[in-house]
Amino acid sequence: MVSLMAIAMLTIAPNIVKAADATTTAEDAWQRGLEAYSEHDYATAVESFENVIAYGHASADAYYNLAGAYFKLGQEASHNGGRQFSNGELGKAILNYHRAIQLDPEMEDAHYNLAIAVDHTNDTQAIPESFITSLWMGISNLFASNTWAWGSIILLGLALALFMAYRLSTRLGLRKGMFWLSIVCMLGFILTTLFAITERSLQQRDNRAVVICNDTTPVHASPDNTSKIIRQPSQGVTVVELRNHNEWSEILFADGEKGWIRSSNLEII
């Protein structure tokens, strides 16, 4: 029995050591990334934050910092006489902002910086969202779907309690007040439920992808290099991947147009 326990300990011990080493290495990489970013050494910051994630310590903060480092690295190129985002940094920044939001939907800084990065995509062929749609999506993103769901339950409870008070009260003025308050709470319940459903559906769209390329990449009418080029989206454009065929992916743009792109030019969020 003792020998079996000894063998088990010898088997487990190396794994414990490896886990401890990975944690230490990730912490070291994290510190290097923060220091490099503060010193405007964005190439080292990118490498360091990529290592943090590679070591198995992916988090909203890690993706957020990685996205910021990629964005700054791409901007830095123009200061050195080159073109901004000439090596695909914009697409990688947008990809990692999306991943940060996926892990923490309430990360306001990630939403704000993502919007700034998307403004650099120059995807002029896409139909922009209407003001109402943008407002609705912006409000939905304020809280996670679970938070909206709890809010809707609380409002429903208040609406029912106020309606009961309205039915039981004998004072006319109080009855009117309770009635209208119950109506307001019921409308709030409907809105928060719809926000919860919207935010939940966004979280479940795990087939969304970001176009990763150095500048623009052709989208073909069929999975064939010789077929008609129907579009040339810039890096960072977010699409929905519909299906795969060999080395190609069929994608759906925000304006409803479909086409085929090399799978190597896509990164799933």
pLDDT tens column, 59-84: 999 999 999 999 999 998 766 667 88
Given pLDDT bands bounded at 50, 70 and 90, which one contains residue 18?
very low
- Tens of pLDDT along 239-262? 888 899 999 999 988 888 899 999
Q: Examine the pLDDT at 225 and tell me if it is beyond 50.
A: yes
Beta bridge partners of 249: 244, 261
What mean pLDDT is reported for the chain?
85
Share of the chain above pLDDT 90, in %: 52
Share of the chain above pLDDT 70, in %: 83
Query: What tokens were used for 230?
Result: 């129907």
- The larger pLDDT score, comparing residue 258 to residue 19, is at 258
pTM of the model: 0.66
- Is 196 in contact with 75 (CB distance < 8 Å)? no
The residue type of 52 is V
The secondary structure of residue 234, as a DSSP letter, is B
Q: Give first-to-last CA distance, the chain, whole Å.
A: 49
- The larger pLDDT score, comparing residue 164 to residue 129, is at 164
Query: What tokens were used for 256?
Result: 């409803």
The secondary structure of residue 128, as a DSSP letter, is P
Give CA 111 to chain center in angstroms: 8
| Phi, psi (degrees; rounded to nearest 5) at 211 | -70, 120
pLDDT at 81: 64
- Tens of pLDDT along 25-46? 889 999 999 999 999 999 999 9
Beta bridge partners of 240: 208, 252
pLDDT at 208: 79
Give the closest residue to 197 by CA, choosing from 137, 135, 114. Answer: 137
Coil, helix or strand at residue 241: strand
